Amino acid sequence: MKEPASQLILLVEDDTLLAKITKEAFEEHGYRVAQATSGIEALELIEKKHPDIVLSEVLLPKMDGFTLIEKVRKSKRPETPIVLVTSLGQVHDIERGKAVGAVDYIIKSHTSLGDVVRRVEKTLQMM
């Protein structure tokens, strides 16, 4: 497994305060973090920056997180692991996330930021 300092996380979140707090949490653990505020911007950054993992909200402007995953799976970087971190917690949302290829589905209201970091670290260790 790569050291955190060599790993790039792409954080896709349109809530600027939540994005700032999440970015800082991962940086405190030694990760580099790039940010996008829409699915379209995320798709461009995945192609340019080749992140080790993507954390994406589902509810995004211009392109939602489900569509982002579908497009990434058909792109030049289909193996990019994507974790959905969202407030959508209905069973059909979780099933859809897994069906389109999310490697994990985290419900914000049920998960602390520390737990989000731990789950992402665990996912990176498995890659």
Q: For residue 117, give the CATH number of its domain.
A: 3.40.50.2300
Predicted pLDDT of residue 35: 98
What is the three-class DSSP state of 16? helix
Q: Helices (DSSP H) in the chain: which residue ranges?
A: 16-28, 39-49, 65-73, 91-100, 113-126
The whole-model pTM stands at 0.95
Choose among 70, 94, 74, 71: nearest CA to 84. Answer: 94
Predicted pLDDT of residue 127: 84
Q: Give me the number of domains the chain comprises.
A: 1
For the chain, helix, strand, coil in percent to 5 are: 50, 20, 30
Domain of 96, in residue numbers: 4-126
Predicted pLDDT of residue 1: 61
10-residue averages of pLDDT along the chain (127 residues): 84 97 97 97 96 97 96 95 95 96 96 96 93
